[in-house]
Amino acid sequence: MKTKQTKQTKHIVQYIVALCVSVCGFSMLMPIHAQIENVIVETYYVSNAADATVTDGGSVPEGSVTYRVFIDLAKGSKLLGLFADEHHRLFIASDDFVYNNTLDGVSIAKDLNKYRYSENTVALDSWLTLGQMSFSSSKTYGGVLKQNDTDGSKVGGKNNDYNILINTDERAGIPITQADGMMIMSNVPDDSWIIYGLKDPVSGKDSTIFGSLKKGKEFESYDFILKCSGVQGIDTLNQVLVAQITTKGEIEFELNAEVETADGKIIKYVAVNGGQLGPDIKLSPYLKYPQECGCTDRNYLEFDEKYSCSEPSACKTPIVLGCMDTYACNFDATANVHIQNMCCYPGFCFDKDIQLVCPQFNEQPLVYMYPNPTKNNLTLKVLSPEETEMSYKILDDMGSVQMQKENIKLGNFYTNSLQIGQLKSGIYHCVITIGNYTEFRTIIKE
């Protein structure tokens, strides 16, 4: 027998929900703090016909777009590196060829001398990095979004041997002749860089899309390391440059990043859940591009941590916490998320006052028989609002008594395991009498 919740019962349930959230560690409604707050893809430059005429270092096709990728970290965090392993690939691709400068280009931007930026189209070269864009004899230069560049530009126009890279295509925002997105780094990683997975171990040459040995459209690796002692963004926004890609096509990527938190904890963040998540490996949907949008509101059943951008229309079913166990006295038919600690049973209510949680107890006894169907044992539980006597008997379809027990002294609670394994398979009827109250149940014996 089930009864509707009274107004008093609903208030008790609301209290239990709050208790579960604040005390029991229930986190469905709580946002999970992450060290990676976003990944930003900046359109750095769009090549024009004049740029394409320069063949020194290889011609960059007209209409090619140079993208720069920044990992936006929480305050105080450091980026230690990018990685790939057998469960989490590192993947960067375009649907057209990726441009690499054949004369001055590099695979890792820390190896690019700043003065080379004045030569041909090397400023559009494709590479990976951890913050750094170039170096000089006395300084190290890192990447920053053009909109946050405060020291002007040393790239393109009069700063270029061919007076190129002056296109003002509005897709790229600020022209790189005004802001080159490169500033002096004050906190420079030490020289203990680890770079593995780009160069051929025999020839020592890079034949990936970051090298200039051959043209390619994608880089995929399950065995890759690019690591340093740790780097932060140039300004307080803590946005760290990790890649530059030039191509006429659309780009996509899956990155995996190792981060050191402000308190020194090291966490690996992956773009895709390969089934290997744990305390030190977490999913960051921002590391996958293009972004996948969906329900990002944890108050809805449609929420999924894989989404990095919100699509409000995807959130359709509000979460209703409650006890979804039909054997509980406070079973909630409106709930869609089960919280076991909210369930109350005869004799057990997690230290809550069962008379308040289940006020129907004040009216008549509650009877529970489970599991049903069953093969062997059938549990009978009874909660009575008063002390009395009870009896039960099990009858077959012909009305013959197969099992019975009478004159059971009943306090407020009774439980017993009925051994019905010896009965034949079929349908049986149980009559439970509690004081002046009688309840009938149908039992299926398998």
Q: How do residues 82-107 score in pLDDT, each as one tens digit?
A: 999 999 999 999 999 999 999 999 99
How far is residue 329's CA from residue 349's CA, in Å, rounded to a whole number?
Answer: 10
Q: CATH for 364-446?
A: 2.60.40.1930
275 pLDDT higher than 60: yes
DSSP assigned state of 285 = G
431 pLDDT higher than 70: yes
Whole-number pLDDT of residue 34: 86
Q: What is the mean pLDDT of residues 253-263?
A: 97
Whole-number pLDDT of residue 370: 86
How far is residue 182's CA from residue 150's CA, in Å, rounded to a whole number?
Answer: 9
Per-residue confidence band for 326, with pLDDT thresholds at 50, 70 and 90:
confident
Burial of residue 126 (CB within 10 Å: 0-12, 13-18, 19+) is buried
More confident call, 354 vs 122:
122
Q: What percent of the chain has pLDDT over 90?
A: 67
Q: What is the mean pLDDT of residues 250-274?
A: 96
Reduced to 3 states, what is the DSSP secondary structure of residue 356? helix
Mean pLDDT of the chain: 89
Number of alpha helices (DSSP H) and beta strands (DSSP E) in the chain:
3, 28
Q: What percent of the chain has pLDDT over 70?
A: 91
Q: What is the mean pLDDT of residues 257-278?
A: 92
User: 62-66, 201-205, 416-420 — which one is most confidently predicted on average?
Assistant: 62-66
Whole-number pLDDT of residue 346: 63
Whole-angstrom CA distances from 401 to 196, 378, 379, 390, 404 are: 79, 17, 19, 17, 7
Q: How do residues 47-80 score in pLDDT, each as one tens digit?
A: 999 999 999 999 999 999 999 999 999 999 999 9
296 pLDDT higher than 80: yes
Whole-number pLDDT of residue 348: 73
Closest by CA position to 104, among listed 58, 153, 57? 57
DSSP string, 45-97: EE--HHHHT--TT-PPPTT-EEEEEEEEEPTT-EEEEEEEBTTB-EEEEESSP
Classify the C-alpha dihedral 77-83-87-92 as positive or negative.
Answer: positive
110 pLDDT higher than 70: yes
How far is residue 88's CA from residue 251's CA, in Å, rounded to a whole number?
Answer: 19
Closest by CA position to 122, among listed 38, 196, 57? 57
At residue 337, what is the residue type? V
- Please state the φ and ψ torsions of residue 393, each to the nearest 5 degrees: -150, 145
Closest by CA position to 181, among listed 102, 51, 66? 66
Q: Which helix (H) or strand (E) element contains residue 10?
A: helix 7-22
Whole-number pLDDT of residue 363: 66
Q: What is the dihedral of CA 230, 236, 242, 243, to 10 degrees?
A: -160
Other Cβ atoms within 10 Å of 228 Cβ, number = 22
Q: What is the mean pLDDT of residues 206-235?
A: 96
Residue 210 neighbours by CB under 8 Å, 6+ apart: 100, 107, 108, 126, 127, 128, 198, 219
CA atoms within 13 A on the CB side of 269: 29
439 pLDDT higher than 90: no
Q: Are 79 and 257 in contact (CB under 8 A)?
A: yes
Domain boundaries, the chain: 36-283, 364-446
Burial of residue 412 (CB within 10 Å: 0-12, 13-18, 19+) is middle
Full-prediction pTM beyond 0.75?
no
In sequence order, the β-bridge partners of residue 383 are 366, 413
Q: What is the mean pLDDT of residues 378-391?
A: 84
Q: How far is Cα of residue 306 from the mean position of the Cα atoms in its chain?
A: 5
Q: How do residues 127-141 score in pLDDT, each as one tens digit?
A: 999 999 999 999 999
Furthest-apart CA atoms within the chain: distance in Å: 105
Per-residue confidence band for 362, with pLDDT thresholds at 50, 70 and 90:
low
Q: Which of 16-30, 167-181, 191-205, 377-391 has the lowest mean pLDDT?
A: 16-30
Q: Which helix (H) or strand (E) element contains residue 378?
A: strand 377-383
